[in-house]
Amino acid sequence: MRAWQVMRHGRPSEALELVEVAPPEPGPGEILVRTTASVLNFNEVDGCRGRYLTIDPPLPYTLGMECVGEVVAAGSGAESWIGRRVTASGRGGIGAHADLVAGSTAMAFEAPAQLGDVEAAAFFYPFHLAYLGLHERGRLAAGETVLIHAAAGGVGSAAVQLAVAAGARVIATVGDAAKADLVRKLGAEIVVEYRKEDFVARALEATGGLGVDVCFDGVGGETMTKSFGCLARGGRHLVVGFASGIEAEEVPMVSGRVLCFGNFDVVGVILSYVDDALAPHVTPFAPVPVPRCNPPVATVGQRVHARLLELLGRGAIRPIVGQRVPFADLAKALDAMETGKTMGRIVVER
Ligand SMILES: NC(=O)c1ccc[n+]([C@@H]2O[C@H](COP(=O)([O-])OP(=O)(O)OC[C@H]3O[C@@H](n4cnc5c(N)ncnc54)[C@H](OP(=O)(O)O)[C@@H]3O)[C@@H](O)[C@H]2O)c1
């Protein structure tokens, strides 16, 4: 089968090669998906660069976190999935940019029937991650104010829609005017082009000085520490990602004093469901340098998915496909993602 493999570390177009490899075998509790589309994730840029500590397999390995397709084979215990159209993740968060992908049923979900393969591919990670952040971890309530960074991105555009659907006020930060147009259309009340304006001042102004209740932060670094300056009493800062530089994930960003006097929470969010039978701290990844990894279990994932299908069914949310690219152009498209200029999800067609 064809697979995009990381052969060496560097810029995506230098690191990746399209090669022929043997298909993976589904193990117990796993499915094998014949892919019709996969999606680019910002973390894959860091994977190519060799600076993503969480998923850092030995080279060469097949890149790709999520895909859409039909289940064509299954390991023991997963046979009932054969024939289903799913949106799924590759084993260990890799392997999805290939013709065949093996992964756990804990990270596989019914592809929404009303969406074609390209849109279905853009649905899973952004909406699950945004839902886990805003609702499961952030306890967002109607009438609260949410500050969403990288709001026009794949994950950010999903967070804007879910926050609006929950009856929250959205303040969105974006890198340029085209992104500002998109998030306004998605329902953001206040849109800040952060290169031209100070988002802290705008957020304080919009909330009468009280600050925002929730900050959805997929950017990290200085954006994280700056955001503490406009977080309300009892606020929740959601640590979702580090698009401004993955190195920041290992840098202590908050002192006890900031937390104590801020009287707010800093809340981690991970999207990676594991089988309910696994011990709570078991990680699906190779050993990672964190004291504990506590991913949610598969039944939480199925509950989140059912809620998302309901919201999709009544038109409250829709996946944002910024670009479709042919399989052969995947590496170049990942180069473009690294520049930070892309909007919505970039879907790779077969
Ligand atoms: N916690 C989890 O389990 C999990 C799972 C998947 C993804 N994530 C994280 O979620 C975040 C969003 O992922 P995504 O795939 O949807 O990416 P994305 O938001 O589509 O792309 C990243 C965006 O970040 C902004 N950005 C800010 N500073 C940047 C910089 N120095 N270089 C490049 N971009 C910069 C850019 O938007 P502006 O122009 O608007 O600034 C850019 O478009 C990422 O941090 C990712 O790692 C977390």
CA dihedral 332, 337, 340, 346 (to 10 degrees): 130
Q: Which of 107, 237, 240, 272 to mutate to test the pocket of ligand 1 (most atoms within 8 A of CB)?
A: 240
Q: What are phi and psi of 303, to 5 degrees?
A: -65, -45
Ligand 1 centroid distance, CA of 168 (Å): 22
Ligand 1 centroid distance, CA of 1 (Å): 30
| CB-ligand 1 contact for 218 (6 Å cutoff) | yes
What angle in degrees, to the nearest 10, is found between the helix axes of 177-185 and 154-165? 30
C-alpha–C-alpha distance, residues 159 and 187, integer Å:
11
- As a whole number of Å, the end-to-end CA separation of the chain is 12
Retrieve residue 53's tokens: 């500590």
Ligand 1 centroid distance, CA of 147 (Å): 15
| CB-ligand 1 contact for 301 (6 Å cutoff) | no
| CB-ligand 1 contact for 216 (6 Å cutoff) | no
| Residue pLDDT tens, the chain, 350 long | 999 999 999 999 999 999 999 999 999 999 999 999 999 999 999 999 999 988 999 999 999 999 999 999 999 999 999 999 999 999 999 999 999 999 999 999 999 999 999 999 999 999 999 999 999 999 999 999 999 999 999 999 999 999 999 999 999 999 999 999 999 999 999 999 999 999 999 999 999 999 999 999 999 999 999 999 999 999 999 999 999 999 999 899 999 999 999 999 999 999 999 998 876 666 555 555 677 788 899 999 999 999 999 999 999 999 999 999 999 999 999 999 999 999 999 999 99
Atom in ligand 1 nearest the alpha carbon of residue 268: 1
| CB-ligand 1 contact for 170 (6 Å cutoff) | no
| CB-ligand 1 contact for 43 (6 Å cutoff) | yes
| CB-ligand 1 contact for 45 (6 Å cutoff) | no
Q: Whose CA is nearest to atom 28 of ligand 1?
A: 244
C-alpha–C-alpha distance, residues 108 and 89, integer Å:
7
Q: Whose CA is nearest to atom 29 of ligand 1?
A: 244
Cβ 272 vs Cβ 91: under 8 Å:
no
Q: What is the pLDDT of residue 197?
A: 98
| CB-ligand 1 contact for 148 (6 Å cutoff) | no
Q: Whose CA is nearest to atom 46 of ligand 1?
A: 241
Atom in ligand 1 nearest the alpha carbon of residue 173: 40
Retrieve residue 204's tokens: 């304080």
Q: Which residues contact 215 (CB under 8 A, 6 or more apart)?
A: 146, 147, 148, 149, 227, 230, 231, 235, 236, 237, 238
Q: What is the pLDDT of residue 279?
A: 62
Question: Which CATH code of 3.90.180.10, 1.10.1660.10, 3.40.50.300, 3.90.1580.10 fits the domain covering 2-123+319-349?
Answer: 3.90.180.10
For residue 98, the 8-state DSSP code is B
Cβ 229 vs Cβ 201: under 8 Å:
no
Q: What is the pLDDT of residue 291?
A: 74
State pTM to two decimals.
0.97
C-alpha–C-alpha distance, residues 117 and 67, integer Å:
9
167 CB neighbour count, 10 Å cutoff:
11
| CB-ligand 1 contact for 227 (6 Å cutoff) | no
| CATH 3.90.1300.10 describes domain 125-268 | no
Q: Could you check whether 2-123+319-349 and 125-268 share the same CATH topology?
A: no
Ligand 1 centroid distance, CA of 243 (Å): 4
Ligand 1 centroid distance, CA of 35 (Å): 24
Q: What is the pLDDT of residue 283?
A: 59
Q: Whose CA is nearest to atom 8 of ligand 1?
A: 241
| CB-ligand 1 contact for 125 (6 Å cutoff) | yes
Q: Which of 45, 125, 155, 323 to mutate to test the pocket of ligand 1 (most atoms within 8 A of CB)?
A: 155
- Domain ranges for the chain, please list them: 2-123+319-349, 125-268
